[in-house]
A and B are shown apart, each in its own frame.
Chain A
Amino acid sequence: MTAQPDTTKHERRTPAPPPVTLIGMPKFPKNAKKELANEQLRSNLRHATTTIRNKRARVVQELPHWEDLRLAGEAIKNRTLRHLDSYLLQLEQTLTANGAIVHWAADAAEANQIVIDITRSKGADEVVKVKSMATQEIDLNEALEEAGIAAWETDLAELIVQLGHDRPSHILVPAIHRNRSEVREIFLEEMGRYGTPPPEGLTDDPAMLAGAARVHLRNKFLRAKVAVSGANFAIAETGTLVVVESEGNGRMCLTLPETLISIVGIEKTLPTFADLEVFLQLLPRSSTAERMNPYTSMWSGVREGDGPQEVHVVLLDNGRTNVLADEVGRQALRCIRCSACLNICPVYERVGGHAYGSVYPGPIGAILTPQLRGIGSEVDQSLPYASSLCGACFEVCPVRINIPEVLVHLRNKVVESHGVTAEGLVMKGGSWVMAKGRNLALVQKGSKLAGRVWPGDVIGPIPIPGPAAGWTDARDLPKPPTQTFRDWWTKEHQQPEQTGESAS
């Protein structure tokens, strides 16, 4: 919770995030081991994910046609993705006709520079931000900070993360790893340094903490000249952007500043306004487990006399076209960032979001991140293995992304990228054993002997050195049995045969 002062550059405007860059992160098992040791984190996560899982199940049960909605959501997204070039051109045309200025950004650096240039052209040195995964993905805040522009997160959870010098650990509730008393500590320690301090006598009552955020941010909303948002949906037919939120911080940012810049991943496109009837039923119930989220804003470019009079839309690729090129993996682009797969995942619940080394954690992160970033780094190669393939994520996904299918597909790609692997060698050995009954009998003979000489029931951690040790260290190898299945079978089946013979 202590600041990380950066002495090499100008004085920071906003709280510094932790110094580790996500790209250089160690692989998932190493991260997971570290996070598993944090009991507070596990208890916070268990509490939060259990609550939201139960609530989601309740509101989903209210809709008898839920499966039809999921199928429709899947089909609409597939249709859009398979004709994405046409829909994007249509979106650009309608947005422009509505008075918006459309930019195309191939990567993070280009998108960040567009935001910096627009902000500077307005003479502004700060922006207020609506919670947005796309801007997290491109690390916009740090790019702005380096350009001397302060980016203020206004979503409560993002504010907790920003003030806590922390990183998000969940798509929907980035501060899910913090409990109320930790939030209180962060507010007391940091809020006053960056604006209106928390009220006297701040307790850990969530309502009072939310009240402190209201007071802290009000002045920032009222004075901001430029706002930055993402978008949940972009309607090609009408040039309309949609932001789904709860607190009203989104409405503040989308309404009060004179200039609005929205960073929109190209896969957010939907063909028609009517398509929203499907997604506005799927998304709130899957994400916050509500029948409807408190606020949804829709705007079509510039509305004279109402809201920002300069509206920019940045269409972002940043690896999405790579995902699109993979016929199995492209279904990940259907994702509407609801986070139901995180909340249901037994792996996520135990290790939390930070272990995934990406702004997209959990099952969806395990298939999206390696496709967006490629499988060049250790952490990205390990992500497709961060799952037990239990399939719960697929069952809850509102757009029916078959996450286990993509995980297995990506595991194959990782193995292929390595050529010969330890796993391959083990499998080769296994195939020799299994090739002939005689080979298996030989191996079993050796194993039986070992079982007779070994005292006790377990040998202890499996003594295999090298890369496999991470798995074998944590598992006890049972003592080999003194009788093989084949021996047992022969013995058991000889007896009745002999009896039968003597009776005849």
Chain B
Amino acid sequence: MSSKEAMLGRIRSALTDVTPMAPADDVAVEWTYGQRPPGASDDMLGLFVERVEDYKAVVSWVVPDEVPVRIANALADHDVTSAVVPAGAPAAWHEAVAAAGIAVVTDDPVLSHAELDATGGVVTASRVGIAETGTIVLDHAADQGRRALSLVPDVHVCVIGSDQVVSDVPEAVVRLQTSIDERLPLTWISGPSATSDIELSRVEGVHGPRILHVLLVNV
């Protein structure tokens, strides 16, 4: 007998007390999915900014026309001299970064780990923002690039539209269902990398980007 058959057999004999029926009929889950939670803030965007900053990330409000130049400024502010810009990002982003004298690195042909490690920054769009938890979710579509791009470089400049921000986790999960249905990987980012492993006190900056700069676009 294979381990699969053995394990399934053991599960079935462990569950002899369970009446055969559809799982949903067996255990009722008293929960309405996808809801805005009770007492959610009216000032969702204000809360988003406050909560992202609480993780010691930098947040700047920008108007749509200024996004490319503000990307270049953010990179320059953190002394980045080379940055990956995903192929699917707007051409204006590539041009503005290059115009600021920062070397634009593209992932075509695919960058080696070493090349990526030698790159100082990365610019990405994003899929969803969550106000309550100060979280940004990437689904690694073409304007965000593959997962390694927003991981290995030390400075991550992340662009998110105000219309992409939702109240809390349930609304975000609803919006992300499409990405999951397309089997896109998701990365949920709440501030720069951090650890609480030494005496449970939080320290920012371990393996992921140590600087997260969020550009919140007023749309």
Is B189 in contact with A300, judged by CB distance below 8 angstroms?
A: no
Q: Is the C-beta of B100 less than 8 angstroms from some C-beta in chain A?
A: no
**Within the assembled complex, what's the spacing in Å between the Cα atoms of A47 and B198?**
11
Residue ID in chain B nearest A184 by CB atoms: B198
Contacts of A210 in B (CB 8 A): 195, 197-198, 203, 205-206
Q: Which of B2, B14, B114, B201 has the most CB of A within 10 A?
A: B14
In the assembled complex, how far is the CB of residue B53 from the closest CB belonging to chain A, in whole angstroms?
Answer: 13
Contact with B along A156-182 (1 / 0, CB 8 A): 110010000000000001011011100
Interface residues of B in 175-219 (CB under 8 A from A): 176-177, 180-181, 183-201, 203-209
Is A246 in contact with B195, judged by CB distance below 8 angstroms?
A: yes
Q: Is the C-beta of B143 less than 8 angstroms from some C-beta in chain A?
A: no
Is A248 in contact with B10, judged by CB distance below 8 angstroms?
A: no
In the assembled complex, how far is the CB of residue A105 from the closest CB belonging to chain B, in whole angstroms?
Answer: 6
Is A298 in contact with B186, judged by CB distance below 8 angstroms?
A: yes
Please report whether the interface of chain A is mostly helix, strand, loop or mixed according to DSSP. helix
Is B39 in contact with A52, judged by CB distance below 8 angstroms?
A: no
Q: Is the C-beta of B158 less than 8 angstroms from some C-beta in chain A?
A: no
Residue ID in chain A nearest B135 by CB atoms: A292
Contact with B along A173-211 (1 / 0, CB 8 A): 101101110010000000000000000000000110111
Residue ID in chain A nearest B2 by CB atoms: A104
Is B206 in contact with A79, judged by CB distance below 8 angstroms?
A: no
Contact partner of B170 (CB less than 8 A), chosen from A209, A223, A277, is A277
Residue ID in chain B nearest A285 by CB atoms: B133
In the assembled complex, how far is the CB of residue A60 from the closest CB belonging to chain B, in whole angstroms?
Answer: 13
Is A155 in contact with B197, judged by CB distance below 8 angstroms?
A: yes
Contacts of B203 in A (CB 8 A): 206-207, 210
Q: Is the C-beta of A373 less than 8 angstroms from some C-beta in chain B?
A: no
Is A85 in contact with B193, judged by CB distance below 8 angstroms?
A: no
Q: Is the C-beta of B65 less than 8 angstroms from some C-beta in chain A?
A: no
Q: Is the C-beta of B169 less than 8 angstroms from some C-beta in chain A?
A: yes
**Within the assembled complex, what's the spacing in Å between the Cα atoms of A251 and B186?**
11
**Within the assembled complex, what's the spacing in Å between the Cα atoms of A85 and B11?**
6
In the assembled complex, how far is the CB of residue A214 from the closest CB belonging to chain B, in whole angstroms?
Answer: 6
Is A84 in contact with B197, judged by CB distance below 8 angstroms?
A: no
Contact partner of B173 (CB less than 8 A), chosen from A65, A274, A284, is A274
In the assembled complex, how far is the CB of residue B166 from the closest CB belonging to chain A, in whole angstroms?
Answer: 11
Is B205 in contact with A211, judged by CB distance below 8 angstroms?
A: yes
Q: Is the C-beta of A306 less than 8 angstroms from some C-beta in chain B?
A: yes
Comparing B17-25, B66-74, B76-84, B90-98, the segment that makes contact with chain A is B17-25
Q: Is the C-beta of B37 less than 8 angstroms from some C-beta in chain A?
A: yes
If A183-B198, A252-B207, A276-B173 touch, whether A303 touches B190 (CB-CB below 8 Å) is no
Residue ID in chain B nearest A105 by CB atoms: B3
Is B147 in contact with A251, judged by CB distance below 8 angstroms?
A: yes
In the assembled complex, how far is the CB of residue A435 from the closest CB belonging to chain B, in whole angstroms?
Answer: 38
Q: Is the C-beta of B42 less than 8 angstroms from some C-beta in chain A?
A: no
Contact partner of B146 (CB less than 8 A), chosen from A76, A276, A306, is A306
In the assembled complex, how far is the CB of residue B2 from the closest CB belonging to chain A, in whole angstroms?
Answer: 7
Q: Is the C-beta of A439 less than 8 angstroms from some C-beta in chain B?
A: no
Contacts of A76 in B (CB 8 A): 29, 31
Residue ID in chain A nearest B17 by CB atoms: A327
Contact with B along A213-256 (1 / 0, CB 8 A): 11001100111000000000000001110000011110110111
**Within the assembled complex, what's the spacing in Å between the Cα atoms of A218 and B208?**
10
Give how many B residues have a beta carbon under 8 Å from the other chain's beta carbons: 80
Residue ID in chain B nearest A222 by CB atoms: B113
Comparing A317-325, A352-360, A447-455, the segment that makes contact with chain B is A317-325
Is B188 in contact with A295, judged by CB distance below 8 angstroms?
A: yes
Interface residues of B in 15-64 (CB under 8 A from A): 15, 17-18, 23-24, 26-31, 33-34, 37-39, 51, 55
In the assembled complex, how far is the CB of residue B13 from the closest CB belonging to chain A, in whole angstroms?
Answer: 7
Is B194 in contact with A256, judged by CB distance below 8 angstroms?
A: no
If A83-B18, A83-B23, A278-B31 touch, whether A317 touches B169 (CB-CB below 8 Å) is no
**Within the assembled complex, what's the spacing in Å between the Cα atoms of A294 and B57?**
11
In the assembled complex, how far is the CB of residue B138 from the closest CB belonging to chain A, in whole angstroms?
Answer: 10
Q: Is the C-beta of A98 less than 8 angstroms from some C-beta in chain B?
A: yes
Residue ID in chain A nearest B177 by CB atoms: A273
Contact partner of A295 (CB less than 8 A), chosen from B26, B168, B187, is B187
Residue ID in chain A nearest B8 by CB atoms: A85
Is B14 in contact with A251, judged by CB distance below 8 angstroms?
A: no
Is A288 in contact with B196, judged by CB distance below 8 angstroms?
A: yes
Interface residues of B in 108-127 (CB under 8 A from A): 110, 113-114, 117
Is B193 in contact with A247, judged by CB distance below 8 angstroms?
A: yes
Contact partner of B38 (CB less than 8 A), chosen from A65, A213, A315, is A65
Is B30 in contact with A71, judged by CB distance below 8 angstroms?
A: yes
In the assembled complex, how far is the CB of residue A92 from the closest CB belonging to chain B, in whole angstroms?
Answer: 8
Q: Is the C-beta of B7 less than 8 angstroms from some C-beta in chain A?
A: yes
In the assembled complex, how far is the CB of residue A217 from the closest CB belonging to chain B, in whole angstroms?
Answer: 7
Contact with B along A57-81 (1 / 0, CB 8 A): 0000001110010011001101110
Is B193 in contact with A75, judged by CB distance below 8 angstroms?
A: no
Chain B residues near A (Cβ < 8 Å): 2-4, 6-8, 10-15, 17-18, 23-24, 26-31, 33-34, 37-39, 51, 55, 110, 113-114, 117, 130, 132-135, 140, 146-148, 151-152, 168-170, 172-174, 176-177, 180-181, 183-201, 203-209
16 residue pairs bridging A and B, Cβ less than 8 Å apart? A51-B199, A64-B37, A105-B3, A110-B3, A178-B198, A210-B195, A217-B207, A251-B207, A255-B147, A276-B173, A297-B187, A298-B180, A300-B183, A306-B148, A307-B146, A321-B10
